[in-house]
Amino acid sequence: MAKYVFVTGGVCSGLGKGITASSIALLLKGKGYKVFMQKFDPYMNVDPGTMSPIQHGEVFVTADGCETDLDLGHYERFIDEELNYTSNITNGKIYSSVIEKERRGDYLGATIQIVPHISNEIKNKIYEAGASSGADIVITEIGGTVGDIEGSVMMESLRQFKMEQGSANTFFVHTTLVPYIFGSNELKTKPTQSSIIELRRLGIQPDVIVTRSNIELGDAIKSKISLFGNIPKQNIIEAVDVNNIYQIPINFHRQHIEDIILEQFGLPITDSHLKYWEDLINTVDNLKNEIEISLVGKYIELHDAYLSVMEALKHAGYKHNLKIHINWVDSESLEKENCDLNAIFKNSKGILVPGGFGHRGVEGKIKACEYARTHKIPYLGLCLGMQVAVIEFARNVCHIEDASSREFNETCKNPVIDLMAEQKTIINMGGTLRLGNYECTIKKGTLTHKIYDADKILERHRHRYEFNNKYKEELENKGLVFSGINEPSNLVEIIEYPRHPFFVACQFHPEFKSRPTRPHPLFDAFIGAAKKYKK
Ligand code: GLN
């Protein structure tokens, strides 16, 4: 039987609830427990797959093809476990499933109500994660802030869950903000107090409070939170601002958060295995040199849209002892006639075009790709980044001037990127992309084979359009190499251009599989090439 830790948030969003949940999971794993993680999002979308990155940041994809909240990326990077469709539950999913059951007649004549039908469905999703993962401890984060109307049923379900399982099997962590007020020059506990009161009004007494602040709290502030929050002082865990998120687990460990949890669960408090993580932090804190990589996208003011890509670049940097400086390039700005590409890419040792949807900014991405190819700057293309590389090559090397993707030009005469037959009949936008793990066979003797050092790999996908095999021979004749193929469907997965120091692009999203202690081979090789280019 699993035990359950719930992480809620108060005062405001953006306090690092996801990092808190991930850190707790990492510490419990460090004690030898099998952990699993889950995120509940209170919005009505079934999943974030149909949401704009402006609304939601990146969509993280699990191996089994679930489109999820970006916090799952943090979870996987911290605990290094593959999560799945039980790991991201939304109100949209809960309500759809209840309504589906009602239509089927499963409720035998009952009036369907928020309590108990919706709340039961929520609790079932928590139990399901426990049962199907076989974990000792499940950590469930609740999105949003306590007091939100959307989240209220989820909170009610947690209250019921605790009633069913008791405090030996459930543990509540509440994250809040302790702001520093300039002028009076003091930390203020009132927002934290109010947020605990709000939580208690919903029937939940937190067991631990994680306080986000920019300076240490000090004893008097802790005593105050303890008194008003009904929390033992040692159960107030400070989350003082850090430069490097991977530092948080160690900061929590020093305050014994995992011991407090294990003690309540009546589980043995074993030794912690965290040396590997301390080594990582040591590496991150002592990176010697910096290197600039250009990231060409259309949401550059919104770094969350490229979170996993940024992290994957950093991970590769750790291995090469390099701090990554990202030169954020707005793809649309490259489309302007007077745009000076030499100035924009002046200091860049590598150019990366990440995934994306829609026509806006695509011509700029094609230009960036052409610049990388013709100036022999290392290029890494991810998903759309591979598609633009194909279009660029077809237009500028094979002289197929109107080459494009069916996505950007429906009547295109030379769709080098096209819709697969089975995608043509799809009506719904949600959940119908090619999603999750697909196998890829790597061609021997290629750079890709050298990078992966494997004949077959599994990578995560999230796209609708594919390379059009009709053009394969023509592009091959001009030197493009199709180095990775999904054999069952004969789909191009990876391309490379050997007449260039490093020009590799893939149809999948390698960024999702990168870990801080284990960079993804493609990112590793890309940063390696960028380092060489620097010399
Ligand atoms: N828009 C492209 C497609 O649907 C690429 C998607 C992506 O980059 N994730 O195929």
Q: Are residues 459 and 511 in the same domain?
A: yes
Q: Are residues 482 and 528 in the same domain?
A: yes
Other residues' Cβ atoms within 10 Å of the Cβ of residue 97: 16
**CA count, 13 A, side-chain hemisphere, 397:** 21
Of ligand 1's listed atoms, the one at least distance from the Cα of 357 is 1
Res. 212: pLDDT tops 90: yes
Q: Is any ligand 1 atom within 6 A of the Cβ of residue 228?
A: no
Q: Look at residue 430 in the predicted model and tell me its pLDDT.
A: 82
Of ligand 1's listed atoms, the one at least distance from the Cα of 384 is 8
CA dist 419 to 42, 270, 366, 394, 404, Å? 33, 54, 20, 18, 12
pLDDT tier, 162 (very low <50, low <70, confident <90, very high otherwise):
very high
Average pLDDT over residues 196-216: 96
Q: Are residues 494 and 513 in the same domain?
A: yes
Helix (H) / strand (E) element for 393: namely helix 384-396
Q: Are residues 379 and 449 in the same domain?
A: yes
Q: How many domains does the chain have?
A: 2
pLDDT in tens, 101-160: 999 999 999 999 999 999 999 999 999 999 999 999 999 999 999 999 999 999 999 999
**CA count, 13 A, side-chain hemisphere, 355:** 26
Q: Are residues 334 and 471 in the same domain?
A: yes
Q: Is any ligand 1 atom within 6 A of the Cβ of residue 252?
A: no
Q: Which of 360, 362, 384 to mutate to test the pocket of ligand 1 (most atoms within 8 A of CB)?
A: 384
- Exposed, middle or buried, 507 (CB in 10 Å: 0-12/13-18/19+)? buried
Average pLDDT over residues 30-41: 97
Average pLDDT over residues 174-187: 96
Q: Is any ligand 1 atom within 6 A of the Cβ of residue 511?
A: no
Q: Which residues contact 236 (CB under 8 A, 6 or more apart)?
A: 208, 209, 211, 217, 222, 225, 226, 229
Res. 300: pLDDT tops 90: no
Res. 535: pLDDT tops 70: no
The C-alpha atoms of residue 499 and residue 162 are separated, in whole angstroms, by: 62
The C-alpha atoms of residue 85 and residue 145 are separated, in whole angstroms, by: 24
Mean pLDDT taken over the chain: 96
Determine the 3-state secondary structure of 467 from DSSP.
strand
- Which region holds residue 376: left if phi is over 0, alpha if psi is between -120 and 50, else beta? left
Nearest-CA residue for ligand 1 atom 6 is: 463
Q: Which segment of 301-310, 418-427, 500-509 scores lowest on mean pLDDT?
A: 418-427
DSSP structure string for 132-183:
HHT-SEEEEEEPS-TT-TTTHHHHHHHHHHHHHH-TTTEEEEEEEE-PEETT
Last residue of a domain, one of 232, 250, 280: 280
Q: CATH number for the domain including 493?
A: 3.40.50.880
- What percent of the chain stands above pLDDT 70? 100
CA of 461 to the centre of ligand 1 (A): 9
Q: Look at residue 431 in the predicted model and tell me its pLDDT.
A: 80
Other residues' Cβ atoms within 10 Å of the Cβ of residue 451: 22
pTM: 0.95
Q: Look at residue 208 in the predicted model and tell me its pLDDT.
A: 98
CA of 356 to the centre of ligand 1 (A): 5
pLDDT in tens, 283-292: 999 999 999 9
Q: Are residues 213 and 154 in the same domain?
A: yes
pLDDT tier, 314 (very low <50, low <70, confident <90, very high otherwise):
very high
Q: Are residues 101 and 204 in the same domain?
A: yes
CA of 463 to the centre of ligand 1 (A): 4
Asked, as a colleague might, if the bond just before 249 is cis with ω within 30 of 0, I would say no
Residue 462 near residue 469, CB atoms below 8 Å: no
Q: Look at residue 516 in the predicted model and tell me its pLDDT.
A: 96
pLDDT in tens, 44-80: 999 999 998 888 899 999 999 999 999 999 999 999 9
Q: Are strands 180-181 and 208-213 parallel, antiparallel or unpaired?
A: unpaired
- Token look-up 């469905």 returns 121
Res. 534: pLDDT tops 70: no
Q: CATH number for the domain including 227?
A: 3.40.50.300
Average pLDDT over residues 510-535: 94
Q: Which of 50, 407, 491 to mutate to test the pocket of ligand 1 (most atoms within 8 A of CB)?
A: 407
pLDDT tier, 375 (very low <50, low <70, confident <90, very high otherwise):
very high
Q: Are residues 100 and 201 in the same domain?
A: yes
Other residues' Cβ atoms within 10 Å of the Cβ of residue 481: 20
Q: What are phi and psi of 126, to 5 degrees?
A: -75, -45
Q: Are strands 456-463 and 434-442 parallel, antiparallel or unpaired?
A: antiparallel
The C-alpha atoms of residue 304 and residue 292 are separated, in whole angstroms, by: 19
Last residue of a domain, one of 233, 256, 280: 280
Structure tokens at 515: 């870990």
Last residue of a domain, one of 261, 280, 299: 280
CA of 404 to the centre of ligand 1 (A): 13
pLDDT in tens, 385-435: 999 999 999 999 999 999 999 999 999 999 999 998 777 777 788 888 899
Q: Which of 51, 308, 380, 383 to mutate to test the pocket of ligand 1 (most atoms within 8 A of CB)?
A: 383
Res. 302: pLDDT tops 90: no
Q: Are residues 426 and 501 in the same domain?
A: yes
The C-alpha atoms of residue 342 and residue 451 are separated, in whole angstroms, by: 30
Residue 393 near residue 417, CB atoms below 8 Å: no
Residue 143 near residue 69, CB atoms below 8 Å: yes
Determine the 3-state secondary structure of 210 from DSSP.
strand
Other residues' Cβ atoms within 10 Å of the Cβ of residue 152: 15
The C-alpha atoms of residue 508 and residue 467 are separated, in whole angstroms, by: 12
pLDDT tier, 301 (very low <50, low <70, confident <90, very high otherwise):
confident
Of ligand 1's listed atoms, the one at least distance from the Cα of 407 is 1
Q: Could you list the residue range(s) of the whole structural domain that residue 457 is in? A: 288-534
**CA count, 13 A, side-chain hemisphere, 101:** 18
Q: Are residues 244 and 295 in the same domain?
A: no
CA of 354 to the centre of ligand 1 (A): 10
Average pLDDT over residues 487-497: 97
Res. 211: pLDDT tops 60: yes
pLDDT in tens, 240-288: 999 999 999 999 999 999 999 999 999 999 999 999 999 999 999 999 9
Q: Are residues 135 and 202 in the same domain?
A: yes
Q: Are residues 110 and 10 in the same domain?
A: yes
Rg of the chain (C-alpha set): 25
Residue 424 near residue 475, CB atoms below 8 Å: no
DSSP structure string for 11-49:
SSS-S-HHHHHHHHHHHHHHTT--EEEEEEE-SSSSSGG
Residues serving a catalytic function are: 383, 509, 511
Q: Where are the alpha helices (DSSP H) in 169-321?
A: 190-201, 219-229, 248-254, 257-265, 275-285, 307-319
